[in-house]
Structure 1
Amino acid sequence: MKFLVTGAAGFIGMHTAKRLLEDGHEVVGLDNLNDYYDVRLKDYRLTQLAPYDKFRFVKMDLADRDGIAALFKQEQFQRVIHLAAQAGVRYSLENPMAYVDSNLVGHMTILEGCRHNKVEHLVYASSSSVYGMNPKIPFSTSDGVDHPVSLYAATKKSNELMAHSYSHLYGIPTTGLRFFTVYGPAGRPDMAPWLFTEAILKGEPIKVFNNGKMQRDFTYIDDIVEGIVRIQDVVPQADDGNSKNDPASSNAPYRIYNIGNNQPIELAAFIRAIESACNKEAEKIYLPMQAGDVVQTYADIDDLYKVANYKPSKKIGDGMGAFVDWYRSYI
């Protein structure tokens, strides 16, 4: 099939595009190569895709309404995996308008492209951040998510609402995936695995927020990609039997799933895994909770298991070992 993968120079986007290409599909990768972090890393990721004959890269901003519309009309994609977004909870406190342009306007141009070109299935990235300070554990897609604690989370919840309206109005099959703390080789330099590894190997202290009393459902990139590839083949159908009023499904061809490891790890154990992979102990600076952060994330993935047999398997020690090996070679 012919896929559009947005954010193809991003962490999850590159790995997803690579898997689709390995499976024999044609992939057009879209990215604006912005400088939120070092563009050289994005260039490196694109070099991992360049050898594939069925890959083409298009540099374009999602907010380019005419450009996106023309691309959809010209290419006639069968399926779209929309992973591009302005990432980062803390950065949303500093530069909120970047999230409006990329996450709201950009999501709208993708929905319009799907609407006017009969795309079979749109899979898009939501986030575990939509759960905010949800006290119920584990986080379930049946939980209410009406109280985001960051603008980033608010844009991701907005993406789900926008997708539902298009599924309802135009019959576009849409699936939103709420990602839970993805890590692995070629990961983002603004996230804890990179920041901690870099500091430890340089002999510099690491910042441990909330005095280490945090838990995250760290999910290895290969497990995430496996879930994406499986779910893109499960095209949602209109559900006339939605009598339970489940917010993750609808009478429209619309679904929401958690995609995580289903095994939250305390920050201290995560740091120990990095120390072991680096063969070096970290110097730690303990700090209070940061604005926009949450204490714990924990994915209930039962629904994704039921429809796609999704079973994450990578242990944190093995995953961080793979990341540190990649980081040493990349740096």
Structure 2
Amino acid sequence: MSRYLVTGAAGFIASRVSQFLMDAGHTVVGVDNLNDAYDVRMKDYRLQRLQKQELFNFVKMDISDKDAALALVDKGPYDGVINLAARAGVRQSVENPWVYVNTNVNGTLNMLEVAVRTGTKKFILASTSSIYGSNPPIPTPETASSDYPLQPYSATKKGAEALCHSYHYLHNLDVTIFRYFTVYGPAARPDMVMFRFCQWIAEGREVRVNGDGTQSRGFTYLDDIARGTILGLKPVGYEVINLGGHQVITINDLIHKVEDLVGKKANVIYQDRHPADVMENSANVDKARSMLGWEPQVSLEEGIPNLVNWYLSERSWVSQILTP
């Protein structure tokens, strides 16, 4: 079986990728600095579940710290480096762009160096749909322009992608870059819309909506994203691939679905739309289908109840999770 280095291992997507790898019998060296970008109790919850398993080895460190990152060379070899660690969130990046550059650009550079110095042949990078800017074609293909990012978050991901290409060119590193669209599921980041709506409606809090709620998002369930990410371990040369965002729903309709499942009426407060937000977001995933054989399997009709049921079963503590 293989041995993989997974960064951001306590994160929403990376924790599920790590679990799926271990389910297949692979060993995971999981890296995370457990920062407070969002309520760390959620990261602790995910990490504790991983640490119960013998195939998981945890290293607490910040990938933007060059010396600490390069110490991972001595823990090699690896069959692949899966760099899912990132500072995420478009609005927060406007407030503190420096930490986004450190993690998303410098951290990616450090992980590329780890891959090269350990002779690792495969590198996966988590990028973002935000890279497509303000008016991409909908659904958005990988060929759409990514040259005009609207926020530091997407700008740093563009820089990380460019670094990956340079290492592919210089070192023949095989690279799959995934531009993730909106992902949802149990134990999601608390700044993500479905978690917030679930908590706010269940606990009778104000449901704050930026804009009039007619904006739409394409959602894909966590397990489908994790499966697709692992499929990206196959040799591709250098490819950028959309993943996610295959089922589109408006924010208002999403609220109604959560209301029905929770059994409570939402107290919706509409606010001005943030300039960092886009009105519509959905992915053209034809490339993932043709190149990786990836097909999403979990519909919104199945996935949203999974999230709500998880929330209600863990309500004693997740009701206290801070939601920005």
CA–CA distance in structure 2, aligned partners of residues 74 and 7 of structure 1: 17
Instruction: Determine which of 283, 298, 312 is the counterpart of 1:314.
Output: 298
Secondary structure of residue in 1 paired with 2:57: strand
Specify every segment of 5 or more residues in structure 2 that has no aligned partner in the other structure, as ranges.
318-324
Give, in whole Å, the separation in 2 of the partners of 1:157 and 1:134: 17
Who is 1:161 aligned against? 162
- C-alpha separation in 2, matches of 1:195 and 1:74: 38
1:2-151 to 2 correspondences below 5 Å: 2-151=3-152
* Counterpart Cα distance in 1 of 2:130 and 2:157: 8
Partners of 2:62 and 2:33 in 1: CA distance: 5
Q: How much has 1:145 moved relative to structure 2?
A: 0.8
Task: Describe the superposition over 1:198-232 as per-residue Cα deviations: whole angstroms up to 9, x where unpaired.
Answer: 11111122112220121111111011011111121
Give how far 1:134 is off: 2.5
Deviation of 1:169 after TM superposition, in Å, equals: 1.1
1:72, distance to aligned residue in structure 2 (A) = 2.1
- Report Cα offsets for 1:69-103 as digits up to 9, x if no partner: 12123321110111000111111111111101111
Deviation at 1:176, TM superposition (A): 0.4
Q: Counterpart in 2 of 1:278?
A: 262
Structure 1-normalised TM-score? 0.92
Number of the residue aligned with 2:289: 305
Query: How far apart are 1:51 and its partner, in Å?
Result: 2.1
Distance in 2 between the 1:20 and 1:74 partners?
Answer: 18
Equivalent-residue separation in structure 1 for 2:116 and 2:276 (angstroms): 34
Matched, 1:194 2:195: yes
Cα distance in structure 1, aligned partners of 2:256 and 2:231: 32
Distance 2:292 2:300 in 1: 23
The CA distance in 1 between the partners of 2:303 and 2:273, in whole Å, is 26
Shift of 1:303: 0.7
> In the alignment, is the contact (CA less than 8 A) between 1:270 and 1:316 conserved in 2?
no
Name the structure 2 match of 1:205: 206
Query: Which whole-Å CA distance do the structure 2 matches of 1:209 and 1:37 have between them?
Result: 20
CA distance in 2, matches of 1:9, 1:262: 25
Which residue is equivalent to 1:226? 227
In 2, Cα distance between equivalents of 1:105 and 1:321: 38
Per the alignment, residue 240 of structure 1 pairs with: none
Scaled by the length of structure 2, the TM-score of the pair is 0.94
Question: Which ranges of structure 1 fall in alignment gaps of 5 or more residues?
Answer: 237-252
CA contact (8 A) 2:245 2:281 kept: no
After TM superposition, give the deviation of residue 141 of structure 1 in Å: 0.5
Aligned to 1:323: 307
Query: Is residue 215–residue 251 contact of structure 2 (8 Å, CA) maintained in 1?
Result: yes
* Number of matched pairs: 314
Query: 1:315 Cα shift?
Result: 1.8
Distance in 2 (alpha carbons) for counterparts of 1:50 and 1:169: 36
The reply on whether 1:185 has 2:169 as its aligned counterpart is no
Contact 2:127 2:177 in 1 (8 A): yes
User: Quick one: distance in 1 between partners of 2:211 and 2:41?
Assistant: 32
Q: Where does residue 322 of structure 2 map in the other structure?
A: none
Structure 1 residue runs of 4+, over 3 Å off? Answer: none
Contact 2:168 2:174 in 1 (8 A): yes
Distance 2:44 2:244 in 1: 27
Amino acid at match of 2:191: D
How far residue 184 of structure 1 moved from its aligned partner, in angstroms, is 0.4
Distance 1:63 1:222 in 2: 28
Contact 1:2 1:26 in 2 (8 A): yes
1:235 aligned residue:
235
Task: State the Cα deviation string for residues 219-258 of structure 1 (Å, max 9, x = none).
Answer: 11011011111121x212xxxxxxxxxxxxxxxx210000
Corresponding letter in the other structure for 1:310: W
- Contact kept in structure 2, 1:261 and 1:312, CA below 8 Å: no
Tell me the CA shift for residue 313 of structure 1: 2.3
Is the contact made by 1:273 and 1:317 (CA closer than 8 Å) also made in structure 2?
Answer: no
